[in-house]
């Protein structure tokens, strides 16, 4: 086993973040979408990414189900596993941002402690929490993956919004009541808010 003392990062020898951002003509940040299952996080992030790409920005979208089907397929849904899921994603986001790439992250991240951990890893200046505040009753009515129904039948354990808590964010960069707006309207609000932030000054 390799001792951690023998791990020597070479970040300072690599092409700088500012050099990469200048080439891409953007300032990299992480747009972290949080909200209940079925709130519209992924659908909205996909539309935001499309609009940013049309404006010439380079982005990567990290989605909860996609990440859990690959990188984090070894993780379950205990509190510890959920926290580790968020930790890994935050570390990936930090690496992408160092390459000048804007990241859009769609994760329930149900607790304020998890969101705060992600912010600490990524960096306060590079972290923008976007709360998709669709109410639980609307999410359950939509239930696009039939998860709420299965959770209430006891077929899914520790499902956020039914048998596991979702804490409303104590603070956030932007709140989007996606249930009251169309996808394009919601995305436009987000794009308008972040454009001044991601412009390379």
> How far from 76 is each of 14, 79, 150, 158, 197, CA to CA, in Å?
35, 9, 17, 10, 35
Phi, psi of 115 (to 5 degrees): -65, -40
Residue 44 confidence (pLDDT): 97
**Contact assessment for residue 159 and residue 151, using Cβ atoms and an 8 Å cutoff:** yes
For residue 156, name the pLDDT band (cuts at 50, 70, 90). confident
User: How far is 163 from 133, CA to CA, in rounded Å?
Assistant: 19
What pLDDT does 10 receive? 57
Provide the pLDDT for residue 152. 82
Alpha helices in the chain (DSSP H): 17-24, 41-54, 64-68, 79-98, 112-122, 136-142, 147-152, 183-198
Query: What domains does the chain contain, in order, with CATH numbers?
Result: 17-196 (3.40.50.300)
* 30-49 pLDDT per residue, tens: 999 999 999 999 999 999 99
Is 93 noted as a catalytic residue in this protein?
A: no
- Res 93 pLDDT > 60: yes
CB count in 10 Å sphere of residue 65: 10
Task: Give this prediction's pTM.
Answer: 0.89
Query: Does 79 score more than 70 pLDDT?
Result: yes
Considering 39, 98, 109, 186, which one is annotated as catalytic? Answer: 109
Give Cα 116 to chain centroid, integer Å.
13
CB of 64 within 8 A of CB of 114?
Answer: no
As a whole number, mean pLDDT of residues 106-123 equals 97
139 against 176, higher pLDDT: 176
């Amino acid at each position: 086993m390799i001792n951690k003392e023998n791990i020597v990062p070479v970040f300072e020898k690599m092409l700088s973040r500012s050099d990469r951002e200048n080439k891409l003509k953007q300032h990299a940040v992480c747009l972290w979408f949080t909200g209940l299952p079925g709130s519209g996080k992924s659908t909205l992030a996909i539309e935001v990414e499309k609009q940013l790409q049309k404006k010439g920005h380079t982005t990567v979208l990290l989605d909860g189900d996609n990440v859990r089907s690959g990188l984090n397929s070894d993780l379950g849904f205990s509190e510890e596993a959920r926290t580790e899921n968020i930790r890994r994603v935050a570390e990936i986001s930090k690496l992408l941002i160092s390459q000048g790439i804007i990241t859009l992250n769609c994760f329930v991240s149900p607790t304020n402690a998890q969101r705060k951990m992600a912010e600490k890893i990524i960096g306060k200046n590079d972290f923008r929490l976007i709360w998709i505040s669709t109410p639980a009753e609307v999410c359950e009515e939509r239930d696009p993956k039939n998860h709420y129904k299965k959770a209430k039948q006891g077929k899914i354990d520790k499902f956020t919004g039914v048998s596991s808590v979702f804490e409303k964010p104590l603070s956030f960069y932007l709140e989007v009541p996606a249930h009251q707006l169309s996808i394009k309207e919601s995305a436009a609000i987000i794009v308008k808010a972040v454009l001044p932030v991601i412009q390379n000054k």
